Structure 1
Amino acid sequence: MAQTEQRARPRVRAGFLVVVVVAIGLLFGVPWLTLVLPWPPVVVVIGAVVFVGAAIAFPFLMFLGHGRGRDWAARVGDTLLGVVWVLFAWSVLGLVARLVLPGRAVAVAVLVVAVVLIAWGVHEAMRVPRVRRVDVVLPRLGPDLDGTTVVVLADTHFGPINRVRWSEGTAAAVNALRPDIVCHAGDIADGSVAQRREQAAPLGTIEAGLARVYVTGNHEYFGEAQVWLDHMASLGWEALHNRHVVVSRGSSRLVLAGIDDATAKASGLEGHGAQLDAALAGAPEDAPVLLVAHQPRQVVQAAAGGVDLQVSGHTHGGQIWPFHYLVRVDQPTVQGLTRHGQTQLYTSRGAGFWGPPMRIFAPSEITLITLRATPNG
């Protein structure tokens, strides 16, 4: 058995390498075909040099940036990824348009659209998220908690681009809502606490009337998940590491439960892994349950466990069109309020971004959920 596995590993690595090479070839090759090929030979040659050079540099930049923690490389590589993804998506449409339109006209149109979308996407990514308001009816909610407000903050992704001012503005926007409960649904940062401490510091200024709770996202498990849990606790947040807290007003109670990210167990970090039974152990059975879980697909566990409402992030709403089609393959929903049996799921588009500093047709959000005991409030 061991010998079979050893023989299989080189084939797996080779297959993965082929997939990576083909993907990079398409990402950079299709824009070259659409934007450069219709022009005179000298432009074609210069364009080929530029696109081939960028394609060769790209994996090295990503490795240095995300594999070796070099922020300068991550900034360049992530930006290049965003630019080439936009060019690729619109170049594919351009190749279709070339069936009926002149190649040079299509090339100019695709380039103009891409430049406008990239500029707009950077602006959308860097601004403080807008507030998205949603009412959610929980039939088991007691009358004294009717109207309770829950802010969902997810996917802040503090990273290679220093966003201290953005973080301060986001915290101020949350505080302006005067929420009863604030939930951070994971993916605080890309990097260690030591690297991102300054960017994350404004999270400690966020206020809530009843509770501030946090769960891990998949990006925490790329590095220091437990350290981030401890750091958030030091900032005054309840770290819901497969546990719950109960909040109350008058005679009404609400269970706030949290589970680790779906990738936690595979990370090999001792004591980590999504455990809904542990999170709900000892919770009052007559109180509704609001579960914070990073990935929407964890709603399968939530529905089986009788959870009333799950709030999640992870998807970024797709972040850059048309990536949401790929996200939908892995997740039951990309954004918004959906129902899964008796369990409702709210998926936030997230506050920040991962990788490319762009958001195109997937605006960031701070979610303000108002819990209602009845449809009429």
Structure 2
Amino acid sequence: MTDTSSTGQARGEAQAPRRRALYRLMRYLPLVAPVLLWAVPCWVLLYAGQHWPAPVTAGGTALFVLGLVAMPLGMARGHGRRQQDAAAILGDTLLGVSWVLFTWSVLLGVLLRLALAVAGVGDGQDRARAVTWAVLGVSAVLLAWGYAEARRVPRVRRLDVRLPRLGAGLDGLRVVLVTDTHYGPLDRARWSARVCETVNSLEADLVCHTGDIADGTAERRRAQAAPLGTVRATHARVYVTGNHEYYSEAQGWVDLMDRLGWEPLRNRHLLLERGGDTLVVAGVDDVTAESSGLPGHRAHLAGALDGADPGLPVLLLAHQPAFVDRAAAAGVDLQLSGHTHGGQIWPFHHLVRLDQPALAGLSHHGARTVLYTSRGTGFWGPPFRVFAPSEITLLVLRSGN
């Protein structure tokens, strides 16, 4: 008989060096990534066989070098100790532009050049220049469209979620989810008010915010968050922290949401009763809370469910989808999460999938746990959304099998 514990241990020991090598590589990523993001499109657009006039090559190269210097500098001054909003806007925008240019320089630089060569179109220089204009054209269109997508009020995504343990009295319960609003350097107070108007039009029984309210402290972003106080719900408005709160004095956000009339579910629950049936609505701090050093902040599911009847269905708010393993082990019926932004700018979703078990939408885990992952209501950093639209989610809970 095979000793499975020994086999698992041996496999873990074999994988350990690879994990350590990956972690070492990740340390250098902040240094290497900006260079690649600007150097690759610079090479593809200016040097890979085009033979542009010298002033064009020199001017284009200077622009790429300027972007390479300005992007990390702007992000450091904007998101570091200085918290300069203008610098953050510049750095974040350049990050989005460089990512789109890099992506399409790689794709079109290989695929389009190959297709033209196979078709026998032009010589090497003609094909190289065709790639340059295609990359610039596609990138310009995607950036303009992505900016409009990021700044608009999200469309409402409606879906039914069937929970076998949900009582008939709760059938049809309307739950609205907003998350990852990320109020930040770009003032979006008017956008925030319009989002809240849309939420109110959905006539929710329960409204949930699963964290990452803002980038910045509650005092700094209060005006953008204030419209959240106008949100209406028949039974409750509930909120849990995301990882970005822990970069920006999380307790201040918990206190502000409380003053705006939201219930901060910090490792606790409330009971929602309708038609003689009861739903446990629980919430946990983000998984990064414990490392923040804030006293009493940590993700504690057992504490959130303490005192709840184990026979009742549970709706859990947890910012990160990765928490679903613990939720499934505890028999939670439905977990609502955000965090992923659906990748925000394609094809970043491939990297998100390395860190999270779900990217967007419904997924099933364990014996009965359903996870819904929102693509988010706002955006983080670069003011673009490419093939990852934002959303306000209306989930109608259904009882029975």
Q: TM-score, normalised by structure 2?
A: 0.88
Does 301-310 or 48-57 show the bigger shift?
48-57
Is residue 197 of structure 1 aligned with residue 227 of structure 2? no
Q: 2 CA distance for matches of 1:243 and 1:95?
A: 53
1:353 is aligned with what amino acid?
F
Aligned to 1:355: 381
Aligned to 1:373: 399
C-alpha displacement of 1:19 = 3.2
Structure with bigger gyration radius: 2
Q: 2 CA distance for matches of 1:99 and 1:250?
A: 64
2:391 is aligned with what amino acid?
E
SS in 1 for 2:351: helix
Contact 1:260 1:275 in 2 (8 A): yes
Aligned to 1:51: 64
Q: 1 CA distance for matches of 2:115 and 2:55?
A: 26
Distance 1:267-1:135 versus aligned 2 partners, 3 A rule = same
Aligned to 1:76: 90
SS in 2 for 1:36: helix
1:220-259 equivalences under 5 Å are 220-259=245-284
Deviation sequence 1:237-281 (CA, Å, 0-9, x none) = 000000000010131000000001111111111101100000000
Q: 2 CA distance for matches of 1:338 and 1:21?
A: 36
Q: 2 CA distance for matches of 1:356 and 1:265?
A: 28
Contact 1:338 1:345 in 2 (8 A): yes
Is residue 343 of structure 1 aligned with residue 369 of structure 2? yes
Instruction: State which of 31, 41, 51 in structure 2 corresponds to 1:31.
Output: 41
1:290 is aligned with what amino acid?
L
Q: 2 CA distance for matches of 1:19 and 1:202?
A: 38
Aligned to 2:300: 275
Does 93-102 or 22-31 show the bigger shift?
93-102
Contact 1:184 1:215 in 2 (8 A): yes
Deviation sequence 1:20-79 (CA, Å, 0-9, x none) = 332111100111112222223321111111111210121111110000210000011111
Contact 2:165 2:400 in 1 (8 A): no
Contact 1:217 1:294 in 2 (8 A): yes
Q: 2 CA distance for matches of 1:303 and 1:374?
A: 19
Contact 1:34 1:94 in 2 (8 A): no
Size of the alignment, in residue pairs?
363
2:55 is aligned with what amino acid?
V
Aligned to 1:98: 113
1:149 is aligned with what amino acid?
R
Aligned to 1:322: 347
Aligned to 1:163: 188
Aligned to 2:177: 152
Aligned to 1:4: none
Give RMSD over aligned pairs.
Answer: 1.4
Instruction: State which of 327, 333, 343 in structure 2 corresponds to 1:302.
Output: 327
2:93 is aligned with what amino acid?
T
Deviation sequence 1:268-320 (CA, Å, 0-9, x none) = 11101100000000012221000000000000110011100000000000000
SS in 2 for 1:321: coil
C-alpha displacement of 1:17 = 7.2
Q: 1 CA distance for matches of 2:27 and 2:272?
A: 51
Aligned to 2:231: 206
Distance 1:80-1:150 versus aligned 2 partners, 3 A rule = same
SS in 2 for 1:19: helix
Does 37-46 or 149-158 show the bigger shift?
37-46
Is residue 60 of structure 1 aligned with residue 73 of structure 2? yes
SS in 2 for 1:367: strand
1:370 is aligned with what amino acid?
V
Contact 2:360 2:373 in 1 (8 A): yes
Deviation sequence 1:197-243 (CA, Å, 0-9, x none) = 00000000000001100000000000211110111000000000000
2:171 is aligned with what amino acid?
D
Aligned to 1:20: 30
2:101 is aligned with what amino acid?
L
Aligned to 1:107: 132
Distance 1:256-1:95 versus aligned 2 partners, 3 A rule = same
Q: 2 CA distance for matches of 1:22 and 1:145?
A: 53
C-alpha displacement of 1:95 = 1.8
1:98 is aligned with what amino acid?
R
Contact 2:237 2:263 in 1 (8 A): yes
Structure 1 unaligned regions, length at least 5? 1-13
Structure 2 unaligned regions, length at least 5? 1-23, 117-126
C-alpha displacement of 1:100 = 4.4
